[in-house]
Structure 1
Amino acid sequence: MTSWTQATFAPPIPAARKWLEGVEFSADRPLIDLSQAVPADPPPPVLQDVMAQALTSPETHLYGPVLGLPNLRQTLAQCWSRFYAAKVEADQIAITAGCNQAFAACVAALCSVGDNVVLPVPWYFNHKMCMDMAGVEARPLSVGGDLLPDVNAARQLITAKTKAILLISPNNPTGVEYPPALLRAFFELARAHGIKLIIDETYRDFHSEHDPLHDLVQTPEWDQTLIQLYSFSKSFRMTGHRTGAIIANAAFLSEVEKYLDTITICAPTLGQVAAEWGLRNLAPWLAQQRAELLDRRAAIHENFPRLRAQGWQLQSVGAYFAWVTHPFHGRAQDLAPKLVTDAGVLLLPASMFMPEGDASADRAFRVAFANVNRSGIENVTKRLASLDWPLAGA
């Protein structure tokens, strides 16, 4: 008999880190880790001071409200309203222990065993793992060369068992940003079928455009169809404090509350205090972080010609990620461990983000560049361009 955890695969990040075991890197050629979208630096000192002060409060060490601290829900509702030029109420906000839990809570509140959710491929592996363990079918939606999902193709995947369509924008793993018109088309598709559109906006604060990602929240009764997920982890460099959010219909969040109360009771209070203070005070600092990420994105474009000359292709780049294809003989999942030993570069192969047996996974890698500065990006492209491995079709 198969348990829920046996129904899915091993976590990809720990699996990739095993490739580092026994490999020595010299001081003049250290490992360049492009495997994970985790800020390496701590929160800004001023936010660390706020958190240190919060530790002196007895309330920080107690259970909090299941759906989150009231002041954080209210502040996030105000910020969301300003950003989307729409009215969002505090009771449409739930605070979770990270954005992964936000998605898991939505799956629990929406789905039964045997239901399905449509999601584009390549997908974020933790979304797929969550559905596997819940007995929910992930219906893979193929994307085109521009890595954008097709609404008409999604329509063909919807069945009586479909509960939601899941999109991530800016996307993990590809970095691609979904145009507002495309998000609107998916919203209308979901509304026409009486299902939910879930948009994971974890990387929203690093979008290349200043305009909102979409205008869906301005739609009357938007919360009957739309569920938005958000994370403070990347924005305020507090991944270890596990603070995320769901923006959705208040009645739906009453169902989410059952799941959260059972799994964690509440999100960590310290992270919530930090997130609320950050929303009120760190907008200029966050704008600077966004500018730095956009500069690294520009550095990818500027340095990629030396790889393109060797047969590599840059399919997309944005927010934290780029999606590249390699020119070599062999599959990306087999070449990834060799990149560690031969180039001192750790990348995740596309097979970690795709259904088993998908041949398009053989050619691609995800590049998580958020923790690599301009010189590091230049160094990566030089190392990869120097590889003299056999080429495909040679």
Structure 2
Amino acid sequence: MNDKHTHSAPSSRVRTAGIDNRADGGSAREADRALLACTGPTTLDTTHFDTVRFPAPAWAAERFAAAAADGALAYTTYRGSDDVRESLAGPLSAWLGFDVDPLENILLTPGTQAGLFTTLAGLVDPGDRVAVMDPDYLFSERILTFLGAQITHIPLRGRTGEDGGLAPDLDRLEDAFRAGVRLFVFSHPNNPTGAVYPREVLEGIAALAMRHDVTVLVDELYGRLVYEGTPFVHLASLPGMRDRTITLLGPSKTESLSGYRLGIVVAPDRILAAAEDVLSLTALRAPAYAQHVLKGWLVDDVDWIADRVQQLHGLRSLTIKHFSQLPWVGLAPQQGTAYLFPDVSALQLPDRVISEALATRADVLISPGYQFGPSGTGHFRVCYARDEEVWDRALGRIVDVLDDLYRRGAAA
């Protein structure tokens, strides 16, 4: 017998990072790929900020160039440059509302995404029960699934009161804690809905976390992007929460510094030690020269940020105006981020069909709702941080396609 006919290729198990399944039972991996296949060179990508229309502040490149000119700064400890963390401690303490120790409480990471992964990887073992908000940032659940966690979804509900905003179902959250969940993960402001939670809601989360001895990871990447004087409360600043809260921060979105790959994790030393171990095995450290850009963050950009929020406020109004032409589209109150999360469940169509129709007929790439959790189905997310004229025209195309889909469904 010829040997070449008796050998087969070695088999291997490929991790899928938790994206094989989505809420409707299909494959998120294949749905994401199919959607991207519908795009072309002219497609407007609304899955992230337009960093041409909204560039980084001038001081960022200046600080980076100054650091890059000094080869002695090429290497830092795993937690990041001592000098940079020392410079961050004061502004962070002032913003967060509690004392932040530069050596024990700050970890610099290659973007907030790396902060999320390294922290969760240092905390979560296979089989651990973890609660996540629903809907929420798409990669939180995917990372947790990759790590083998058991996921419990905590739905967002409409609040009673003047604004009718969204807030987590605290009864469901307490049920999860009673059932053995010891880690709760959520974004604030919420990505994708833009919801900002009032103090009493955060105090409710804090009370439950302390009562049931739960650690909370809160992604506050958009904490500086809130509208109309909306108060923003840091969970870790509430009594009893500093030692059980992990706060993820960064300049990537609000300051358009995504390309610099900078994230900040503020947490107790015991948690950062575990995250530091994971970082040392993956990226070693945040980009060393880029770290020095953070010396200007929260310091040189206060007025600059206020102007940017005003510009985004105008784009938010433009976006709401267009979607409001369709009375069947639901728009929840949105107090932060540069995202809108329209409810198009009245179409009674799969997310895949809606997103592919917008890609092929409106030439616009959106983030389909299934990416953000079971409650996200029937929605999609757009980022309106774009050139005003380009976005105005794109919104017209989006509304026309949605209107046609609705009329066809009604006729059928």
Aligned match of 1:79: 91
Give the 3-state SS of the residue equivalent to 1:375 in structure 2: helix
User: Which whole-Å CA distance do the structure 2 matches of 1:111 and 1:228 have between them?
Assistant: 17
Task: Tell me: CA distance 1:156–1:39, structure 2 relative to 1, closer, same or farther (3 Å).
Answer: farther
User: Which of 314, 317, 336 is residue 298 of structure 1 equivalent to?
Assistant: 317
How do 1:1-394 and structure 2 match up within 5 A?
3=13, 5-6=15-16, 8-9=18-19, 16=32, 19=35, 21=37, 30-37=42-49, 39-40=51-52, 41-61=54-74, 63-90=75-102, 91-145=104-158, 146-159=165-178, 161-208=180-227, 210=229, 213-214=232-233, 216-308=235-327, 311-317=328-334, 318-326=336-344, 327-355=346-374, 361-370=376-385, 372-387=386-401, 388-389=404-405, 390-391=408-409, 394=412
Change (3 A) 1:209 1:85: farther
Q: CA contact under 8 A between 2:136 and 2:186: conserved in structure 1? A: no
Amino acid aligned to 1:73: R
TM-score by length of 2: 0.83
Q: 1:7 to 1:229 in 2, by over 3 A?
A: closer
Q: Which moved more, 1:115-124 or 1:293-302?
A: 293-302
Q: Distance between the aligned counterparts of 1:190 and 1:393, measured in 2? A: 50
Percent identity of equivalent pairs? 24
- Count residues with an aligned counterpart: 382
Could you tell me how far apart the structure 2 residues matched to 1:136 and 1:144 are?
A: 25
- The two structures, once aligned, show a CA RMSD in angstroms of 2.8
Task: Tell me how far apart the structure 1 counterparts of residues 212 and 57 of structure 2 sit (CA, whole Å).
Answer: 45
CA–CA distance in structure 2, aligned partners of residues 352 and 78 of structure 1? 37
**C-alpha deviation, 1:267, in angstroms:** 0.9
Structure 1 distance, partners of 2:154, 2:60, is 40
**Change beyond 3 A, Cα 1:329–1:154:** closer
How far, CA to CA, are the matches of 1:316 and 1:393 in structure 2? 31
Please give the secondary structure, in 1, of the residue aligned with 2:203.
helix
**Using the alignment, how far apart are the partners of 2:174 and 2:283 within structure 1?**
36
* CA-to-aligned-CA distance 1:171-222 (integer Å, 9 cap, x gap): 1112111222111211111111111121110011111255652154444553
**Which structure has the greater CA radius of gyration?**
2
Contact between 1:13 and 1:35, CA under 8 Å: does it hold in 2? no
Corresponding residue SS for 2:325? helix
Cα separation, 2, equivalents of 1:265 and 1:225: 26
Give, in angstroms, the shift of residue 22 of structure 1: 6.9
Letter in 1 for 2:81: L
Unaligned runs of 5+ in 1: none
Tell me by how many angstroms 1:96 deviates.
Answer: 1.2
- Residue-by-residue CA offset, 1:241-297 (whole Å, 9 max, x unaligned): 211111111232222222222222211112211122333322222222222222222
- Taking a change above 3 Å as real, the CA distance of residues 222 and 74 of structure 1, as seen in their structure-2 partners, is farther
Which one-letter code corresponds to 2:47 in the other structure? S
Aligned amino acid, residue 231 of structure 1: G
Distance between the aligned counterparts of 1:64 and 1:392, measured in 2? 61
What SS class does the counterpart of residue 278 from structure 1 fall into? coil
Unaligned runs of 5+ in 2: 1-10, 21-26, 159-164
Work out the CA distance in 1 between the residues paired with 2:393 and 2:112: 32
Letter in 2 for 1:314: L
AA matched with 2:340: A
Q: 1:210 to 1:109 in 2, by over 3 A?
A: farther
Residues in 1 aligned to 2:318 and 2:29: alpha-carbon distance in whole angstroms: 25
C-alpha deviation, 1:6, in angstroms: 2.9
Q: Secondary structure of the residue that 2:79 maps to in structure 1?
A: coil
Cα distance in 1 between the residues matched to 2:332 and 2:222: 19
Deviation of the 1:70 alpha carbon: 1.8
* Distance (whole Å) between structure 2 residues aligned to residue 268 and residue 151 of structure 1: 39
Contact 1:168 1:199 in 2 (8 A): yes
Deviation, structure 1 residue 8: 1.7
Indicate the SS of the match to 2:185. Answer: strand
How far apart, in 2, do the equivalents of 1:19 and 1:52 lie? 38
Alpha-carbon contact 2:50-2:387 (below 8 Å) kept: no
Measured after TM superposition, the shift of residue 23 of structure 1 is 5.6
Rounded Cα–Cα distance in structure 1 between residues aligned with 2:372 and 2:309: 26
TM-score (norm 1): 0.87
Cα drift, residue 55 of structure 1: 1.4
